[in-house]
């Protein structure tokens, strides 16, 4: 250690960590000790070489953050963020910031802080202009900006099959054209012939009917259905069966579950308390309905991406509900953190999951891999990721009302007319009563004179007193308008950028001297200042109004607001679980009739993006907060919002007079009555006070007609969906770190699909445009990915086995021409109809092949069955196993839709957020798709049989094969109960002895008669069990034992 640095070191010893202090100290010393060159070569270069070069130099094996510190140029150019060195200004130099560890996201060297002495030396060096001897080598690569992408998009596109356009492939030639039933078979046969492999023989009819039932509706055929099909020799029997199953409501319930795997369907948010996502089940029902109605897939995709923004949404003909609006619900099925300390980090995780699910589900691309760096293998630069990020961060969560405005339009018109009439009635009531005021004033002025009070109403007297007290408090001069007035209801243009949703705020501007009747329970009011009021037409109406997105710069937000059973929320970085600790102050539950200033301290969130939301929706916001904020007749009103650095609200809001009239007031009152009759906008202050305090008797007011009208307003169901927010681009987060912002990423679709010069999205968030760009014919992904998913479910493996990844790391298609042919037909001839596609595929001869291994040479040539020389054996999904058991026990409740059956909680399912009550063990006998999916309390039965964790897109479930499955089928009480129910059902129907029972349970379970051997073995078993049970003959528990065994037989959960 040199003497100088030793001195420095001593100086520094009392300084702890603070780089700022260090800078002050070094600023006082003169030139660099020992001269610039000497100081650099002895102190700085060795230090940089020793502690930084490993990751930040020419010699780095792996250059980190695109920063080189082995030349002055390198430091000046900087890395992915910005310049690392500002000579003469240690406080502006990232290099110094990094070594000081003051920024938690930029701490270098990452593992081990430099010593205080070393930091001081570097600081001193920078302070003195960071001299670097000329002789030292400059970087050999001075050019090159750190933020431009390093990947060759065109090259990567050329090199990978999936980016090539979908073209209608020609049908291949085959030697045995007679084998195939339709063109699909030709592709399969061509592959087999090329490899000299013979296709397997056709499966028998029993196998086929079971295969079709389990593949299309996920339930076993009844013995009668089997018999009918087997005995039907007509050439159309198979096709009729296919069409019947495709037309069954059960179809959507099975294929809906396949879809839910893609969108990580869950009804709770997971994390610490597993809060519910209200109405999530409506999304599930939407999927089931859409599949049953065979909504074209392009429309289905469009609805998912931007169903809330379509010009012509799809309206359900039965319910009148807007179906399209439910599609975007899938965005919100991910997990969310309770009380994150870093809210933007949380947002970046949430949006990452949205991008991941969106891109894998619809594109089969792993765009989320480009979050921290350009995609390692696919032509997707980080910029593209943040282009989509901006689209999603510009979109907002909303529980949308599903009924279209038309539904209530006429009623609302009648209500508006009715309210006008009521206003006239009120004035007629007030006029005569106001004449009495002289007597009341006299009584008030001489309180000791009892005779003056004779015949007067005490309530009225009190009302007058209160009104006059309030009157006296009215300010008489106008205060200056504060500069930061954001919203002022008297200036409606200040609300221009606000978005309105639902009926309540559609016509909510109340003007001066308007009368207001929320509903029958509320007395009439006379409004004396302009305001936004959700109850203007009726307290029964519901809705939300949201501000444009702002960046928080002022510490305080003051809002003048009133309401009941409603709330306003400040939503920071789209964070929705507004409750303590940390976020509770961003929500206010309204419980006040009178307008009042409420002040929100936003200090913690300065620099973040936020919007304000006023809502009287009865649907719960996310999380457990907001007690008292929800009700069917809630309302909320506001007049002013002010951004300010002062903690006290400004003195504006109360209507004022230039010259306040003096008492006596009778003339004032008469004047005001004539004002409101003339519909003047000069506020009728005194009248308003008298009305509010109850001076007038309104018992004669007839609101009966209004009551009838309000009851006609339809109950408006809601579902999680989107609302478009302010369209704002996001900057690239350098290395995925949201605190290190790089260049701007305009909102648009992938460069590799849409080209380098593609325009940015213009409308709001851009989701609508995104949907159209995704569906553009130049984008080969949606159709290929969708047909491959269908193929996967029917044939056990996709043509591209990695159903969710068509990228370089995914698997290559085994039959690329077939995939193209299917995709191209799906888009054109089939009109994106999934049912037509399924019909095409299950009517192939390929689908009808046997799964049995008969031909050893075929097995050797195609051991993994990649050519589909036979059909694979498939393990049934957990849901199908459970549904089948209920079908056999005769207890399956086939009712559809609605609130999910609460999950059955075993004693092993513990933890925070555990529901107070367990659902029934038999899931109310409903199909599995209607069972509740709680992220932190997943059904063990389903999990053990591989229902995926709702985390991200899973198009291909794992098929595990473990003892835990055997333990469930052997020992789970549900299985045992249903075995007994099955036995009871069998015994009730007929008394035909042991052999008859055995034959019937076999027919029910497997669609066939038992073999002689099976019959004998089962019969012996029944006798043995009866002996052990100690029963005479065969009873329910004995038969239940047999049923239990059959559930465990392998052909129960495997189909051939």
Does residue 607 touch another protein according to CB under 8 A? no
- Nearest to another protein of 448, 908 (CB atom): 908
Structure tokens at 170: 């020609």
Contact between 335 and another protein per CB under 8 A: yes
- What residue spans of 554-630 are helical by DSSP H? none
Among 148, 483, 699, 971, binds another protein (CB under 8 A): 971
Residue 804, token pair as written in the block? 């969710």
List the x/- string, 73-102, binding to another protein by CB under 8 A: ----------------------------xx
Does residue 113 interact with another protein by CB under 8 A? yes
Which run of H or E residues covers position 314?
none
Which part of the chain contacts another protein (CB under 8 A), choosing from 38-46, 559-567, 783-791, 1012-1020?
Answer: 1012-1020
- Is the CB of 81 or the CB of 337 nearer to another protein? 337
Contact segment (CB under 8 A) with another protein among 527-535, 611-619, 701-709, 970-978 equals 970-978
Instruction: State the Cα angle at 949 between 948 and 955, rounded to 5°.
Output: 40
Q: HEC states along 50-83?
A: HHCCCCCCCCCCCCCCCCCCCCHHHHHHCCCCCC
Residues in contact with another protein, counted by CB under 8 A, come to a total of 103
For residue 606, count other CB atoms closer than 10 A to its CB. Answer: 11
Cis peptide before 664 (omega within 30 of 0): yes
Q: CB 643 → another protein: shortest distance, Å?
A: 22
Q: Which two tokens stand for residue 368?
A: 């989320």
C-alpha–C-alpha distance, residues 372 and 782, integer Å = 25
Residue 807 in the binding site for another protein (CB under 8 A): yes
Q: Residue 246 and residue 212: Cα distance in Å, rounded?
A: 10
Min separation Cβ 314 and another protein, Å: 32
Which residues ranging from 233 to 272 are in contact with another protein (CB under 8 A)? 270-272
Site string for another protein, 375-414 (x = CB under 8 A): --xx------------------------------------
- ∠20-25-28 over CA atoms, to 5°? 130
Residues 746-805 that bind another protein (CB under 8 A): 802, 804-805
Burial code of 347-366, b = ≥16 C-beta within 10 A, e = fewer? bbbbbbbbbbbbbbbbbbbb
Does position 1054 interact with another protein (CB under 8 A)? The reply is yes
Question: What is the H or E stretch that residue 485 is in?
Answer: strand 485-488
Binder among 13, 168, 714, 1051 for another protein (CB under 8 A): 1051
* Residue closer to another protein (CB basis): 838 or 942: 942
d(CA 395, CA 786): 26
CB of 121 or CB of 531, closer to another protein: 121
| Cα–Cα distance, 683 to 526 (Å, whole number) | 9
Show the beta-strand stretches assigned E in 850-983.
Answer: 874-875
| Residue with smaller CB distance to another protein, 60 or 1017 | 1017
Residue 960 touches another protein, criterion: CB under 8 A: yes
Produce one character per residue of 1026-1052: b if its CB has 16 or more CB atoms within 10 Å, e if not.
beeeeeeebebebbbbbbbbbbeeeeb
- Least distance in Å: CB of 12 to another protein? 14
Distance between CA atoms of residues 954 and 357, nearest Å: 9
864 binds another protein (CB under 8 A): no
Do 795 and 822 contact (CB within 8 A), yes or no?
Answer: no
Nearer to another protein, 447 or 973 (CB): 973
1021 binds another protein (CB under 8 A): yes
Return the beta strands (E) in 183-292 as ranges.
none
Is residue 981 a contact residue for another protein (CB under 8 A)? no
DSSP 572: E
Quote the crossing angle between the two packed helices 878-888 and 973-989, to the nearest 10°: 30
Query: Which range touches another protein (CB under 8 A), out of 340-348, 513-521, 668-676, 710-718?
Result: 340-348
In the list 14, 31, 112, 178, the residue contacting another protein (rule: CB under 8 A) is 112
Indicate the residue among 101 and 161 with the shorter CB distance to another protein.
101
Site string for another protein, 565-584 (x = CB under 8 A): ----------------xx--
Q: Is 1011 in the site for another protein (CB under 8 A)?
A: yes
Phi and psi of 1014, rounded to 5°? -60, -40
Task: Please tell me the total number of residues recorded for the chain in this structure.
Answer: 1056
The SS3 of residue 275 is coil
CB of 667 to another protein, least distance (A): 57
| H or E element in which residue 665 lies | none
* Burial class of residue 135 in the structure, from the number of CB atoms within 10 Å of its CB (0-12 exposed, 13-18 middle, 19+ buried): exposed
Rounded Cα gap, residues 849 and 132, in angstroms: 77
> Does position 555 bind another protein by CB under 8 A?
no
Half-sphere exposure of 349 (CA within 13 A, CB side): 13
Determine if 1046 is a binding residue for another protein (CB under 8 A).
yes
104 binds another protein, rule: CB under 8 A:
yes
- Which residue carries 């179809």 as its tokens? 251
Could you tell me the smallest distance in angstroms from the CB atom of residue 891 to another protein? 19
Q: Given candidates 1025, 1034, 1036, 1039, which one binds another protein under the rule CB under 8 A?
A: 1025
CB of 27 to another protein, least distance (A): 22
Interacting residues with another protein between 36 and 65 (CB under 8 A): none
| 420 touches another protein by CB under 8 A | no
Question: Does 274 participate in binding another protein (rule CB under 8 A)?
Answer: yes
Using rule CB under 8 A, residue 1000 touches another protein: no
944 binds another protein (CB under 8 A): yes
d(CA 281, CA 915): 17
Nearer of residues 10 and 943 to another protein, judged by Cβ: 943
CB of residue 367 to another protein, shortest distance in Å:
10
- In the region spanning residues 621 to 680, those forming contacts with another protein, defined by CB under 8 A, are none
**Least distance from C-beta 512 to another protein, angstroms?**
43
Nearest CA to 350 out of 329, 374, 331 is that of: 331
Q: Binding marks (x or -) toward another protein, 284..323, rule CB under 8 A?
A: ----------------------------------------
952 contacts another protein (rule: CB under 8 A):
yes
Which residues, 834 to 863, sit near another protein by CB under 8 A? 851-854
Q: Which two tokens stand for residue 301?
A: 């995709």
* Location of structure tokens 């994106």: 832
Q: Give the C-alpha separation, 425 to 680, whole Å.
A: 18
Nearer to another protein, 431 or 949 (CB): 949
- Verify binding: residue 961, another protein, rule CB under 8 A: yes
1015 touches another protein (CB under 8 A): no
If DSSP codes are grouped into helix, strand and coil, which group holds residue 1020? helix
The smaller minimum CB distance to another protein, of residues 497 and 910, is found at 910
Site for another protein in 881-910 (CB under 8 A): 906-910
> Which one of the spans 119-127, 724-732, 880-888, 1015-1023 is the region binding another protein (CB under 8 A)?
1015-1023
Interaction of residue 737 with another protein, rule CB under 8 A: no
- In the region spanning residues 350 to 369, those forming contacts with another protein, defined by CB under 8 A, are 353, 356, 360, 365-366, 368-369
Residue 526, beta-bridge partner list? 515
Q: Name the nearest CA neighbour of 543 among 669, 636, 448.
A: 636
Helix (H) or strand (E) holding 558: strand 556-572
In this structure, are residues 348 and 733 in contact, taking their beta carbons and an 8 Å threshold?
A: yes
* 27 part of the interface to another protein, by CB under 8 A: no
Among 21, 167, 431, 964, binds another protein (CB under 8 A): 964
852/891 with CB nearer another protein = 852
């Amino acid at each position: 250690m040199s003497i100088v640095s030793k001195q420095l070191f001593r100086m520094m010893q009392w300084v702890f960590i603070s780089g700022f202090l260090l800078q002050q100290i070094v600023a006082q010393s003169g030139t660099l000790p020992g001269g610039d060159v000497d100081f650099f070569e002895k102190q700085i270069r060795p230090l940089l070489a020793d502690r930084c070069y490993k990751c930040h130099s020419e010699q780095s094996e792996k250059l980190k953050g695109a920063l080189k510190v082995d030349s002055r140029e390198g430091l000046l150019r900087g890395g992915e963020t910005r310049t690392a060195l500002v000579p003469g200004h240690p406080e502006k130099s990232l290099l110094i910031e990094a070594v000081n560890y003051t920024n938690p996201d930029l701490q270098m060297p990452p593992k081990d802080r430099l010593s205080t002495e070393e930091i001081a030396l570097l600081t001193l060096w920078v302070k003195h202009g960071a001299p670097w001897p000329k002789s030292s080598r400059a970087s050999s690569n001075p050019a090159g900006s750190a933020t431009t992408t390093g990947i060759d998009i065109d090259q990567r596109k050329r090199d990978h099959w999936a980016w090539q356009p979908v073209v209608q492939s020609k049908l291949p030639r085959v030697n045995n054209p007679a084998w195939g039933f339709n063109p699909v078979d030709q592709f399969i046969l061509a592959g087999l012939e090329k490899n000299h492999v013979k296709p397997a023989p056709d499966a028998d009819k029993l196998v086929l009917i079971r295969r079709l039932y389990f593949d299309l509706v996920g339930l076993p055929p009844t013995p009668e259905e089997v018999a009918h099909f087997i005995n039907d020799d007509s050439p159309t029997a198979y096709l009729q069966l296919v069409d019947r199953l495709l037309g069954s409501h059960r179809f959507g319930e099975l294929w809906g579950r396949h879809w839910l795997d893609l969108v990580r369907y869950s009804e709770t948010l997971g994390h610490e308390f597993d809060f519910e996502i209200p109405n999530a089940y409506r999304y599930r029902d939407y999927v089931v309905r859409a599949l049953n109605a065979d909504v074209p897939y392009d429309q289905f995709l469009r609805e998912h991406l931007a169903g809330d923004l379509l010009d012509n949404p799809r309206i359900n003909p039965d319910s009148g509900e807007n179906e399209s609006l439910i599609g975007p619900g899938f965005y919100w099925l991910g997990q969310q953190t309770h009380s994150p300390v870093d809210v933007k980090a949380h947002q970046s995780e949430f949006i990452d999951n949205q991008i991941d699910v969106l891109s894998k589900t619809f594109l089969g691309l792993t765009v989320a891999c480009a979050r921290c760096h350009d995609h390692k293998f696919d032509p997707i630069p980080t910029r593209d990721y943040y282009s989509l990020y901006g689209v999603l961060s510009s979109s907002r969560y909303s529980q949308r009302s599903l009924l279209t405005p038309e539904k209530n339009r006429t009623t609302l018109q009648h209500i508006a007319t009715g309210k006008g009439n009521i206003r006239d009635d009120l004035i007629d009531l007030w006029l005569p009563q106001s004449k009495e005021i002289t007597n009341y004033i006299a009584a008030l002025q001489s309180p000791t004179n009892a005779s003056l009070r004779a015949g007067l109403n005490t309530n009225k007297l009190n009302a007058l007193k209160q009104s006059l007290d309030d009157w006296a408090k009215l300010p008489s001069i106008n205060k200056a308008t504060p500069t930061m007035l954001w919203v002022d209801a008297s200036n409606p243009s200040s609300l221009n950028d606000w978005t309105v949703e639902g009926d309540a705020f559609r016509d909510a501007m109340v003007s001066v001297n308007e009368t207001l009747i929320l509903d029958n329970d509320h007395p009439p009011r006379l409004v004396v200042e302009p305001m936004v009021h959700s109850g203007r037409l009726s307290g029964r109406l519901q809705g939300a109004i949201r501000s444009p997105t702002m960046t928080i710069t002022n510490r305080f937000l003051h809002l003048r607001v009133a309401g009941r059973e409603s709330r306003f929320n400040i939503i920071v970085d789209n964070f929705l679980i507004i409750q303590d600790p940390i976020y509770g102050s961003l929500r206010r539950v309204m419980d006040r009739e009178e307008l009042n200033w409420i002040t929100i301290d936003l200090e913690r969130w300065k620099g973040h993006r936020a919007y304000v939301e006023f809502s009287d929706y009865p649907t719960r916001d996310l999380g457990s907060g907001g007690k008292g904020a929800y009700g069917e007749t809630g309302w909320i009103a506001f007049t002013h919002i002010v951004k300010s650095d002062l903690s006290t609200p400004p003195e504006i809001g109360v209507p004022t007079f230039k010259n306040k009239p003096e008492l006596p007031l009778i003339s004032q009152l008469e004047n005001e009555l004539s004002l409101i009759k003339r519909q003047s906008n000069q506020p009728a202050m005194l009248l308003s006070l008298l009305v509010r305090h109850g001076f007038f008797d309104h018992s004669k007011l007839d609101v009966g007609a209004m009551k009838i009208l309000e009851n006609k307003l339809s109950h408006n169901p809601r579902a999680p969906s989107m609302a478009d927010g302010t369209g704002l681009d996001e900057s690239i987060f350098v290395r995925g770190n949201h605190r290190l912002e790089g260049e701007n990423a305009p909102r648009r679709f992938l460069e590799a699909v849409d080209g380098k010069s593609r325009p940015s999205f213009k409308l709001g968030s851009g989701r609508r445009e995104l949907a159209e760009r995704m569906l553009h014919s130049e984008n080969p992904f949606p159709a290929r990915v969708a047909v491959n998913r269908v193929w996967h479910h029917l044939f056990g493996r996709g043509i591209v086995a990695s159903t969710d990844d068509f990228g370089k790391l995914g698997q290559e298609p085994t039959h690329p021409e077939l995939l193209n042919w299917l995709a191209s037909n799906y888009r054109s001839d089939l009109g994106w109809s999934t049912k037509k596609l399924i019909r095409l595929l299950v009517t192939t001869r390929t689908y009808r092949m046997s799964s049995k291994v008969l031909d050893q040479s075929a097995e050797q040539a195609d051991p993994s069955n990649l050519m589909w020389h036979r059909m694979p054996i498939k393990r049934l999904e957990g849901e199908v196993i459970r549904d089948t058991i209920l079908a056999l026990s005769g207890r399956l409740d086939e009712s559809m839709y609605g609130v999910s059956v609460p999950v059955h909680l075993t004693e092993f399912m513990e933890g925070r957020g555990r529901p107070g009550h367990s659902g029934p063990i038999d899931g109310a006998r409903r199909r599995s798709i209607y069972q509740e999916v709680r992220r932190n309390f997943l059904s063990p039965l389903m999990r053990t049989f591989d229902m995926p964790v709702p985390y991200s897109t899973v198009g291909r479930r794992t098929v595990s094969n473990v003892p835990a499955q055997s333990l469930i089928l052997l020992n789970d009480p549900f299985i045992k109960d249903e075995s007994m129910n099955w036995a009871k059902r069998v015994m009730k129907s007929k008394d035909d002895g042991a052999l008859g029972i055995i034959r019937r349970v076999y027919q029910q379970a497997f669609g066939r008669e038992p073999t002689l051997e099976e019959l004998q073995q089962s019969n012996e078993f029944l006798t043995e069990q009866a002996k052990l049970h100690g029963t005479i003959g065969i009873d329910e528990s004995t038969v239940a034992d047999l049923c239990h065994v059959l559930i465990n037989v392998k052909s129960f959960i495997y189909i051939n």
